[in-house]
Structure 1
Amino acid sequence: MIEKCQVFTPSQNVIELLDAAGYKRDLYGKKIIENACGDGNILVEIVRRYIEDSLNNNINLDKIKEGLEVDIHGAEIDEQHYFKCLANLDEMASSFGILNVNWKILNLDFLKQNFDGQFDYVIGNPPYINYRELNDETRAYLRENFTSCKFGKFDYFYAFVEASFKSISSTGKLAYLIPNSLFKNVFAQELRGIILPHLVRIIDYTSHKLFSQALTSSAIIVCDKKISSKNFEYKDIKKGSTTVIQKETLDKKWIFENYNFESEPKRRFGDYFSAAISVATLFNKAYILKEFKEEENHVCVGRFRIENDLIRRGISPRSLNSKKSELIIFPYKYVNSKLVRYSNEDFNKSFPEATKYLCNFSEELRNRKSDKNTKWFEYGRSQALAHLNQPKLLLSTVVTKEVKVYELTKDCIPYSGIYIVPKKELTLIQAKEILESKAFNEYVRAIGINANGNSLRITAVDINNYRF
């Protein structure tokens, strides 16, 4: 997790961040904190501005040194970066002839401190860490202490935004560089509710990635505690456009595109079809067979032979796009179209060879965070299994230029992407036409979360909520 915290803000974006906050003049006596300061590249620019502005206001160097020790604050959990930050701040101050500053930079976890209402400015670029990468202890602490992390698969930066918002004074400002997934991620709804009343500006880099390591693009949000307005300014960096967004027009997801949801037809996709996430084995290495040899009654994988009755075609959007053949072990059966689960005894007796193969991964399979009552040889999640034994469609959760929809037979088992099955009246052919339409593509452009470059990430819920 620490490694993820070591991605620092590009210098140009430091300038944009401070400018967006209005940290430009009359800075003496204004308390500011950068609460995940790393090596101090944001704080160094803060100190430079503070000193130059103070000199322009005829404040002498002794007074400026006192001000630096009172007004400039930082927090960094990593000791190595903490000391590097102090050295960088010393270097900046000494270039103006100011030495031996007693910096208020703290080597601690900002999320475990109480700075409520103390600062005129809170500036930051929080760690970009998703839910899967958080350990159980961190997850539990965040759930217990932050409203924005009470539910679902929250990101680490939610807590930083919430804690920063609380630490602003009643007339203070927050300027934060965050993943723009904040605007549309279903689990960020609580956080959006926290910041919206005082949100005054968004600078959205949309598909332009500032950090090569990050899977999402970034945006600057600016909140002003003394302002509670009905609208805010939205700037799209890629388009070079600035618009005023009425807050009351924002729904659960914040949509800034010109997609007109009010004029949508009334038929909801999810009323006629079911879009759902594909199966989750929670250990694909054991179940997905990429290198194999098919025989009459078995499939050979290395030194193991797996019974054919347990084998299905394994499908993912990537394998279909690359036309690569894969198999999947399917440790279930369907009787009269209903899913039947094997007992441990029946599975071992019916599939002794497959049992030997899976036993090779027994430790990993038993240590998965599986559904309750899941047997060791079964998939970790079972929610997608009931409706799979029928013809279906498959599409990727990531859309680049066009929505690619694949037709699957009932025997295919999708292990990645979103699959579609019919519910009533309309056919899969009609579903495919809807999903490949220009109108649906425009909807994806509006509703999707920036993933990589021009790619957008969508969810099964997004598809079910589409109206046609």
Structure 2
Amino acid sequence: MNKKCQVFTPNGYVKKLLDCIDYNKNIYDKNILENSCGDGNILVVIVERYINDARAHGLSNKEISNGLSRCICGVEIDPEQHKKCIANLNEIVNEKGISDVQWNIVNEDYLKWEPDRKFDFIVGNPPYITYQELDEENRSYVRNNFITCEKGKFDYCYAFIEKSVHCLSNKGKMSYLIPSSIFKTVFGEKLRSYIKPYLYEIYDYTQDKMFDDALVKSAIIVIDKCIIHNEMIYYDMANEEEMCIKIENLTNKWFFTKNNVPGTRRFGDFFQVAHVVATLLNEAYVLKEENYQEMNEFYCCNGKNIEKEVVRETATPRSLRYKKKEKIIFPYDYKNGKLIRYSAQQFLSLFPGTVNYLNDFREQLDERESDKNALWFEYGRSQALAGLNKRKLLISTVITERVAVYILKKKCIPYAGMYIVPKADNKTYKLEDAKEILESDEFMKYVQDVGIHISGTSLRITSKDIEEFRF
């Protein structure tokens, strides 16, 4: 597995993981597994706690050595880290005056490893690997062997969580440090259903940057297989708040809020929300204010004349926020509200200057993973174009502190964010009404519930999130 995915657990969170499952006392005869143990930074604390508890119960060093060999298990796929782990564990026991421990730490792929027992405790920080980062062999194996990963673009850690729940004894407890996006991602829905019956606690670190290079925010989930739970406790670690939530209220996306009193009108019943155009090479199409000069019939950029007829205003939430004026090459037209596409010969004949300009980017344009029928000079994705030629709202997919909504002119072609237009049968609300709804305090509270935490206080939302808002 890619070494860049090896992210070791900070010490403060190691202690929290173990405290969450009461791995403190009366543990000297209990089986525990750490299934992505790296160099052993979690196992070292486990061993220390095991030794302290065993000595508190009067066990001899020989009995402790046998117990460590028997009760503590670990799995690590990387041979280098596995070797370091054994060395670190030996250093700890030698300091404690204990010898001859036969460590049950295996150098295997956890997802393919077959344990010889069920475990009283499982603790860990599984690999944070996205679907895009997985090679085809691993994708296929995970998809075919784990029900939480049968469909969609799953994360690798979904399979770790599923297997760990399966490996727990009937009275077992598990604590896992996971990306908090699991609570709300579309492809995590089956995993959420899988763990829901055993969910005991969630510790959500929405404001902590736990790992230096990771944008994703983290949470600790605590699983208790002893009983089927009707309620779980959610801890907002940033605001030092806790709340009891009924398991039955955890449906599609998981909302953790005390004030979830939705309105009766669904935003998506009145407005369409969609992602804007995707050129797949903005540097070729977007003309920055500082890089072009306006002439009578052309925009001159990089010494090339681009016909004004094929250029439109453009915008992104960021450019509007900082009052930047940009243009975009728009290699299409509209007639009677319908999108018109040019043939390559037509485009060359009508706009030779633009073809000359785009030819400077030809190699990069050809290498895009464009729609099957897209011509070389067209945008990589054209699906959004059908509904764009009208007055519309623009909103960012990332919300920080407040929701900013912008009204765009009919001919403006935005290239980042999401656009919003009234549905054809909507005779009740105008664009201005939609803007007021989305900039309301109620919608911001909804974003805080439904959004996926990324860097800082920023939250990522989707077009479906907006459509599902009730006002």
* TM over 0.5, shorter chain: yes
Q: CA deviation at 1:196?
A: 0.2
Structural mapping, 1:40-189, within 5 Å:
40-99=40-99, 101-115=101-115, 118-189=118-189
Q: CA deviation at 1:304?
A: 4.4
Secondary structure of the equivalent of 2:314?
A: strand
Q: CA deviation at 1:357?
A: 4.1
Q: Equivalent residue for 2:233? A: 233
Describe the superposition over 1:178-236 as per-residue Cα deviations: whole angstroms up to 9, x where unpaired: 11111122221111000000111111222333223222321111111221121112222
1:269/1:465 contact within 8 Å kept: yes
Q: Equivalent residue for 1:190? A: 190
- Letter aligned with residue 237 of structure 1: M
- Letter aligned with residue 154 of structure 1: F
Find the aligned partners of 1:114 and 1:414 in 2 and give their Cα distance: 52
2:118/2:167 contact within 8 Å kept: yes
Greater Cα shift, 338-347 or 6-15:
338-347
Q: Equivalent residue for 1:389? A: 389
Q: Which of 226, 248, 268 is matched with 1:270 structurally?
A: 268
- Letter aligned with residue 124 of structure 1: G
- Letter aligned with residue 237 of structure 2: I
Runs of 4+ in 1 over 6 A off after TM superposition: none
- Letter aligned with residue 277 of structure 1: H
Q: Are residue 436 (structure 1) and residue 439 (structure 2) matched?
A: yes
1:176/1:220 contact within 8 Å kept: yes
Greater Cα shift, 397-406 or 98-107:
98-107
- Letter aligned with residue 463 of structure 2: A
- Letter aligned with residue 265 of structure 1: G
1:172/1:225 contact within 8 Å kept: yes
2:203/2:220 contact within 8 Å kept: yes
Q: Equivalent residue for 2:281? A: 283
Find the aligned partners of 2:363 and 2:59 in 1 and give their Cα distance: 67
The verdict on how the C-alpha distance between 1:74 and 1:309 changes in structure 2, with shifts beyond 3 A counting, is farther
The verdict on how the C-alpha distance between 1:438 and 1:59 changes in structure 2, with shifts beyond 3 A counting, is same
Q: Are residue 293 (structure 1) and residue 292 (structure 2) matched?
A: yes
Secondary structure of the equivalent of 2:312?
A: strand
The verdict on how the C-alpha distance between 1:60 and 1:305 changes in structure 2, with shifts beyond 3 A counting, is farther
The verdict on how the C-alpha distance between 1:170 and 1:210 changes in structure 2, with shifts beyond 3 A counting, is same
Q: CA deviation at 1:388?
A: 0.6
2:273/2:466 contact within 8 Å kept: yes
- Letter aligned with residue 386 of structure 1: A
Describe the superposition over 1:40-67 as per-residue Cα deviations: whole angstroms up to 9, x where unpaired: 2111111111122122222222232222
- Letter aligned with residue 294 of structure 1: Q
Aligned alpha-carbon RMSD (Å)? 2.3
- Letter aligned with residue 97 of structure 2: G
Secondary structure of the equivalent of 1:242?
A: strand
TM-score by length of 1: 0.92
- Letter aligned with residue 25 of structure 1: K
Greater Cα shift, 232-241 or 340-349:
340-349
- Letter aligned with residue 31 of structure 2: K
- Letter aligned with residue 46 of structure 1: I
1:73/1:103 contact within 8 Å kept: yes
Greater Cα shift, 315-324 or 1-10:
1-10
Q: CA deviation at 1:354?
A: 3.5
Q: Equivalent residue for 1:463? A: 466
Q: CA deviation at 1:72?
A: 1.9
- Letter aligned with residue 469 of structure 2: Y
Q: Equivalent residue for 2:335? A: 335
The verdict on how the C-alpha distance between 1:142 and 1:373 changes in structure 2, with shifts beyond 3 A counting, is farther
Find the aligned partners of 2:319 and 2:394 in 1 and give their Cα distance: 12
Secondary structure of the equivalent of 2:122?
A: strand
1:394/1:408 contact within 8 Å kept: yes
- Letter aligned with residue 292 of structure 1: N
The verdict on how the C-alpha distance between 1:175 and 1:303 changes in structure 2, with shifts beyond 3 A counting, is same
The verdict on how the C-alpha distance between 1:165 and 1:351 changes in structure 2, with shifts beyond 3 A counting, is farther
2:293/2:301 contact within 8 Å kept: no
Describe the superposition over 1:284-340 as per-residue Cα deviations: whole angstroms up to 9, x where unpaired: 333333352134344344354433333223321112112223332323221211112
Q: Which of 447, 450, 455 is matched with 1:447 structurally?
A: 450
Find the aligned partners of 2:164 and 2:331 in 1 and give their Cα distance: 48
Give the number of aligned pairs: 466
The verdict on how the C-alpha distance between 1:340 and 1:138 changes in structure 2, with shifts beyond 3 A counting, is farther
Q: Percentage identity across aligned positions?
A: 51
- Letter aligned with residue 217 of structure 1: K
Structure 2 residues not aligned, in runs of 5+: none
